[in-house]
A and B are shown apart, each in its own frame.
Chain A
Amino acid sequence: MTEDIDYEIDPEDLPDRVERKPLGPPSVVVDDLHITYRVFGARRGGTTKERSSLWDKAISLGRPDTGPITEVPAVRGVSFVAHHGESIGILGTNGSGKSTLLRAVAGLLPPTSGRVFTSAEPELLGVNAALLPRLTGERNITIGGLALGLSNKEVRRNIPGVSEFAELGDFLYLPMSSYSSGMASRLRFAISTIRTPEILMIDEALATGDASFRKKSTARIEEIRAQAGTVFFVSHSLASVRAMCTRALWIDKGVLVADGDVDVVADAYHEYVEGRSDASSGAKLN
């Protein structure tokens, strides 16, 4: 059962169970959210909904094996209300729509239908796509910081701190392509944790690098988490979710199947994963 292996954080590094803060006012309201991906030239078959107008048939003449556009529903009608002081884990097998849901709630992926209301701009932690491997670490910190919405001055002030946290040393002035993979991911992590947002979203693959850095980064996440109003945490690691969250949402094939106290949902999820024979999941295929 691969889901039981904790890729991200060593069990001994896990913080003690989070204390439950009293629930504040709502911070995120998600109403009947649907996300559908368009896929070009997917294979025809029973897996997905297919458009079959005369026009689509005409333009797919050049591709006998594939339809022109197939639609993959990744999130189907999810609704929930999150409150200040809540730490919400999102559980689900690979491809169940966890990350898609997270991105949609963060406002990074426009919903196909449905609405998302938030009290502040959520921030997604753990990804940093603005980085350019041919540029120096210093330059990349600047771009990453600006992408997060910091001002030029704030970015400059943060460069030494980020460099120190990521343990770059003199590599700060070398191109990122010369970094070891651990060093690069340390830098990515350090850049994305510059700010403490009101609504924080954490996508998997958090703690990176060697054991000592993992400890450090877990501590940093804890620090941010303690300050943020609402935290969303995506993982298929049950141990991390149990430790870091007070509430859990379980997504299966894009549908919210469970939403409640973290222990109750995690137990049900665990039971389901144990009993499952095939590892494949993905979007709804039937």
Chain B
Amino acid sequence: MHDHTDAERRVSPLRPSGQRRTNLADQKAQVPLAPRLTSTESEALAARSGLAEMGIRPPLGRYIAQVWQRRSFIWNLSASRAYSRNQGSYLGQAWAVLRPILDAGVYVIIFGFLFHSSAPGIENRAAFIVIGTFTYSLFQTSVMSGLNAIPNNLQLIRSHRFPRAVVPLATVMTEMVMFAPILVAMMVVAMVTGLLPGMGAVVPTWSWLLLPFAAVLLMAFSSGLAMFFSRVGARAPDIANAMPFILTLGRYASGAMFLIPAMVPDSVWFKPLLIHQPVAIYLDLFRAVFGNEELIPMTPLLWLEAIGWAVVVFALGFLYFWRAEETYGRD
């Protein structure tokens, strides 16, 4: 490693007199160079002139205010991206709805009709599975997109200055916007499953009006995880390869297509964990709001648990993301 460069060697001597160099003593200065300050001198000059240092993480309070200020940016970015996502195919936006229906169809065939005993006591296994897989898909896509949020938006990050939490929040918001029509499809498909042979009827009730609130809670929870994973994914892109497996495991561990309390034997020590882990809670919450199964009643405790997980995980995820604010955009 020698520190003088090609350019310096070739350039003809101009007027090195009167120029001062401190840090790169090895260089043979043959071209004019303005006086170079030492680090302490720079700092003093900056302080004297009232300059602020760049790339410093703002205090948490101000950071939250900055993110709040950018709320219409978050909203516009997510709405536009959701809209442009399915533009380029014949069925367009319809795919946003068709994809989860096909997905749910696979599980309904396998767990609803082939493995009869996957949800004992449940009158409409098909609706049970449809609600479970639709809801889990919102969680899954939110986490996956959060993981890739920073790498996918590197250009944006390197072109504009804004609190970086905007990026994972906007990606989750995009999934949320896409979920609105899916939610409607979920209600329709659930009602249709009532017509299948051997399945209990699914009738709309007033409690269905609570579905958007359940979705917002799930989104807050997913945003927290997305912010957590986007910091991880920004430093270690490898995790994007492992994530699909973890999420598939999560699908089973949350009982998207079978009843955990009935299928997991009591002798398993972590059974309470499986029942009370957040994703299982949200799946239960959605099913309870549908209100078609006596086995899954809507209780205040269920809502409290769902709200608690949403608040705690969102706050922790935000905090974790903010702690590395000044590093996003670095390679």
Give chain A's interface residues, CB within 8 Å of chain B: 25-32, 37-40, 77, 79-81, 103, 105-112, 115-119, 121, 124, 127-130, 132-135, 139, 142-143, 146-149, 151-152, 175, 250, 252-253, 255-261, 264-265, 268, 271-272, 275-276, 284, 286
Contact = CB atoms under 8 A, between A and B. Distances in A.
B12 A146 contact: no
B39 interface: yes
A59 B8 CA distance: 39
A271 B32 contact: no
B84 interface: yes
A265 B49 contact: no
Contacts of A134: 83-84, 87-88
Contacts of B23: 32, 77, 79
Nearest to B49: A26
Contact of A107 (B34, B55, B80): B55
Contact of A258 (B2, B3, B33): B33
Given A108-B157, A132-B84, A117 B52 contact: yes
A81 B42 CA distance: 8
Contact of A108 (B7, B36, B73, B159): B159
User: Taking each of B81, B161, B329, which has the highest tally of chain A beta carbons within 10 Å of its own beta carbon?
Assistant: B161
A259 B156 contact: no
B76 A109 contact: no
Nearest to B47: A117
Given A29-B46, A132-B80, A111 B6 contact: no
B116 interface: no
A188 to B, nearest CB: 11
A218 to B, nearest CB: 22
B45 interface: yes
> What band does the interface of chain B fall in when counting residues whose beta carbon is under 8 Å from A?
35 or more
A110 B327 contact: yes
User: Taking each of B10, B27, B31, which has the highest tally of chain A beta carbons within 10 Å of its own beta carbon?
Assistant: B31
B32 A261 contact: yes
A175 B84 CA distance: 10
A108 B34 contact: no
B24 to A, nearest CB: 6
A27 B72 CA distance: 31
B7 A272 contact: yes
Given A32-B39, A81-B37, A127-B159, A119 B11 contact: no
7 contacts: A39-B331, A116-B54, A147-B160, A149-B70, A149-B161, A272-B10, A276-B6
Given A252-B8, A272-B10, A286-B2, 11 more contacts: A80-B34, A107-B54, A108-B158, A117-B52, A124-B159, A130-B159, A132-B84, A143-B80, A258-B31, A268-B31, A272-B7
Contacts of B45: 26, 29, 81
A152 B80 contact: no
Contact of A116 (B14, B53, B76): B53
A251 to B, nearest CB: 9
A143 B77 contact: yes
A253 B32 contact: no
A108 B329 contact: yes
B301 to A, nearest CB: 41
Contacts of A40: 237
Contacts of B237: 40
A70 to B, nearest CB: 11
Nearest to B79: A139
B32 A258 contact: yes
Contact of A135 (B10, B55, B80): B80
B33 A259 contact: yes
Contacts of B50: 119
B76 A259 contact: no
Contacts of A258: 11, 31-33
B42 to A, nearest CB: 4
Given A115-B42, A119-B49, A259-B34, A130 B5 contact: no
Given A79-B42, A107-B55, A259-B32, A147 B162 contact: yes
A40 to B, nearest CB: 8
